[in-house]
Amino acid sequence: MISKQLSMKLSALTLALVLAGCGGGGSDGFYNETGNSGGNGQSPGGPAEVQALNVTEFSLKDSNGEKTEIISALGTVATVKVSDGSGKPVSGALVAFSGENMTFSTTNNSVLTNADGEATIGVTPTNANVTGPYTISVTASFNNQSAAQSKNVSFVKTDIIIDQFEAASKILVSGGSTLLTLLVQDTNGNYQNNQEVTFSADCGSFAQPSVISTSEGNISNTYYAYDVSGNLCSGKQEIKVTPSNSPSNAKIVSVNVEAATATSAVYTSKAISIPVVGSGSSSSSQVEFTVYSNEKALPNQDVTLSLVKAPQGTSFVSLSNTANRTVKTDSAGKVLVNIYPGHIPGPVEISATLSSGFTALSKNVTITTGRATQNSFSLSLSKNSLQNDMDGDKATLVARLTDRNGNDVPDGTVVNFVTEGGKVGGSCSTSNAECSVEISTQNPRSADGRVTILAYVEGDKSYTDKNGDNTYTPGVDILTKNIGSFFRDDNESLTYDNEIGEFKYDRITTGTSASCAASTFREPNIEGTCDNQLSAILRQQVIVYFADSTATIQGLKASDSSLSFNLYGKSALTTPMPSGTSVTVTAEDATENNKSCSAELATGSNPVANIVVSSYYEYKLKDCARGDSFKVTTTAPNGKVSNFYVDYS
């Protein structure tokens, strides 16, 4: 225990440091109401003029109040006196201290002089391991006057000793913890505050890896019998505490940790969807179980795995295996189980059983995704009639795909696109079985305004599964739509035309040659390029219209109870008007029959629909008679107006 005399000395140093932190000097009386200058050369109305400034009596005192030129981990108190040219003390002068490896007791390293002109500040080493000579400097400022002084000092290292290092509990349950306590002292038995110690162990973790000593050198920490990754410790564990200032003075305390026992097994994977074999995606996947002891992962434990439920052809742990397997948990308490799919989709359930009888079941595991099939390939447009007389009118083209069971194709399935005119994104990768590109107007522009866009992707032909094994067997199952090489049908002739340079995709045939399905515009096909195998390049084709903003009308007539016409965006009558074009019919009643002729839209869309399927418009007429007339007005998205007139007959 510390002596009474030493306690008084430390208290004196603490008081000195507190006073230093408060800035030193006092005031000239309560609210400066008296005329007494206090012997500091200042008048009642404010500070006296100072013609010169001096810094004198620069001294250091240790924790015993003795003068010194040494700074140790215990710290020192630095004092200077500031006076004017005549030697009178100067109160209220700002004194700034500085020095390498020195930490001062005020946040800005500065204090004010007191009534006796003295400025006092606490000094401790920033790094207690630094030794050797250094310089501490001061600069005093007052009334635009300044003075500086410096002093040579030496740093000495204080050797740190660990005392009374104890663990509250020497025997711990698996995953348990215990309180660690100790005292930090110097070689003379003096308690040392603000000293860092670090904790370590072969196995285990701590509430704090390092701790700074507080009042009277006390330190406490908590040891946990598991590492930072949650792995459990067992057996004898040596816990070491090391003073950062004196590593050779480390101390050790031992604890015994009881062996862990498995208390639970948990399925720790997320939902998994596994492609069927031959889908073009990964041919296997993994699920994970974790074994715990009191909520901590437990390594090296036996786990028996069983394939409880799965579609025919599924295996696990190793390829083609369906029998129970016993495996051990890894260093993180985990078991990873391989799953190998067959050709048939369906749910998968795997159990993990411990020797104690605890069992966990896999959840949300399914074999589902296959390759894209031809009869599932679908294209759609956000609008199909664009403005030809401007660059950059855009539409979104979406490709959608499923496997033969209507399930999503694997994410990342790539669809390619080529176009007869304008610009189209070259490819897209599916997410949730769909992806999209943009088609926009620009050169080249087809003369008839009809632009063919072809999309294609690797996948499987459509077939009838005659033997019900969910896999294609040549000679047994029937290809319902056999496809081979294909082309982009720019002239919509349904046959490849090399004379106009149509895009062509040649596919190498494998297996036995077979007859091809008839070529259609949506699914162009080249005769003589098909085989009896399942794999193919799937294709879909659409038309996008590049329409003019000036309308062309054909067959405009008004008679009986209707007004009808066909509306086009090309004088060649090959495209509808651009999507978004407004169409109005205004009746001009020129007869005196006490009736008002009117026209109401019956067939067609106003404005022109995003997806135009017909150019035909019909309006129902009411109370119209010979002599009445009508004006048909179209306003394209760019504002172009076209008017047409017809008389009722």
Q: Which two tokens stand for residue 243?
A: 């003073």
| Predicted pLDDT at 555 | 96
With 70 as the cut, is the pLDDT of residue 23 above it? no
The 3-state DSSP class for residue 31 equals helix
Mean pLDDT of 422-449: 97
Residue 18 has pLDDT above 50, yes or no: no
Using CA atoms, how far apart are residues 45 and 47, in angstroms rounded to an integer? 7
Q: What percent of the chain has pLDDT over 90?
A: 69
Rounded to the nearest 10°, the torsion over CA 189, 195, 201, 206 is: 120
**CB within 8 Å of 146: residues ≥ 6 apart:** 53, 139, 140
> What average pLDDT does range 375-390 have in this prediction?
97
Contact (Cβ atoms closer than 8 angstroms) between residue 52 and residue 74 = no
Which range has the worst mean pLDDT, 111-120, 210-219, 394-403, 618-627? 210-219
* pLDDT score of 219 more than 70: yes
- How much is the pLDDT for 32? 35
Residue 39 scores a pLDDT above 70: no
pLDDT at residue 192 above 60? yes
The count of C-alpha atoms lying within 13 angstroms of the C-alpha of 632, restricted to the half-sphere facing its C-beta, is 26
pLDDT at 480 over 90: yes
Q: Check pLDDT > 70 for residue 512.
A: yes
The residue that leads in pLDDT, 408 or 230, is 408
- State the Rg of the chain over Cα: 46
Q: Which residue has the higher pLDDT, 341 or 284?
A: 341
pLDDT tens readout for residues 223-241: 999 988 878 888 999 999 9
State whether the Cα torsion 206-207-211-213 is positive or negative: negative
CA distances to 63, 65, 67, 118, 509 from 59, in Å: 14, 11, 7, 11, 99
pLDDT band at 280 (very low <50, low <70, confident <90, very high): low
Q: What is the mean pLDDT of the chain?
A: 89
pLDDT of 48 reads 56
**What is the token pair recorded at 120?**
């006092």
Confidence of residue 29 (pLDDT cuts 50, 70, 90): very low
Distance CA 337, CA 319 (A): 11
pLDDT at position 15 is 40
Q: So what's the pLDDT on residue 9?
A: 37
SS3 labels along 398-431: EEECECCCCCECCCCCEEEEEECCCEECCEEECE
Give residue 456's region: left, alpha or beta (phi > 0; psi -120 to 50). Answer: beta
**Side-chain half-sphere CA neighbours of 230 within 13 A:** 13
Confidence of residue 214 (pLDDT cuts 50, 70, 90): confident
CATH level 2 (architecture), domain 374-546: Sandwich (2.60)
Residue 20 pLDDT grade (very low, low, confident, very high; cuts 50, 70, 90): very low
What mean pLDDT comes out for the span 495-517? Answer: 94
Q: 7 phi and psi, to 5 degrees? A: -60, -40
When pLDDT is cut at 50, 70 and 90, the band that residue 190 belongs to is: confident
User: How far is residue 180's CA from residue 513's CA, in Å, rounded to a whole number?
Assistant: 82
Distance CA 597, CA 590 (A): 9
Confidence of residue 545 (pLDDT cuts 50, 70, 90): very high
Predicted pLDDT of residue 51: 78
Does the pLDDT at position 374 exceed 90? Answer: yes
CATH code matching the domain that covers 4-155, chosen among 2.60.40.10, 3.40.50.300, 3.40.50.1980, 3.20.20.60: 2.60.40.10
CATH class of 264-367: mainly beta
Interval 215-225 mean pLDDT: 92
Is the model more confident about 472 or about 488?
A: 488
Give the CATH H-level superfamily of domain 160-257. Answer: Immunoglobulins (2.60.40.10)
Same fold, 264-367 and 374-546: yes
CB contact at 8 A, 613 and 576: no
Q: What angle do CA 20, 26, 30 make, to 5 degrees?
A: 150
pLDDT at position 436 over 80: yes
Contact between 67 and 85 (Cβ < 8 Å): no
The mean pLDDT value for 540-569 works out to: 97
| For residue 38, pLDDT beyond 60 | no
Query: Considering the chain, what percentage of its residues have pLDDT values greater than 70?
Result: 92
The mean per-residue pLDDT over the stretch 341-364 comes to: 91
> What is the torsional sign of CA 355, 359, 360, 362?
positive
- On the CB side of 140, CA atoms within 13 Å amount to 30
In this structure, are residues 257 and 225 in contact, taking their beta carbons and an 8 Å threshold? yes
- 322: phi > 0 → left, psi -120 to 50 → alpha, else beta; which? alpha
Q: Which CATH class is domain 552-647?
A: mainly beta
How many Cβ atoms are within 10 Å of 316's Cβ, its own excluded? 24
Output the pLDDT for position 505: 97
The amino acid occupying position 544 is V
**Domain boundaries, given as residue ranges, for the chain:** 4-155, 160-257, 264-367, 374-546, 552-647
| CA dist., res. 339 & res. 318, Å (int) | 8
Mean pLDDT of 466-472: 86
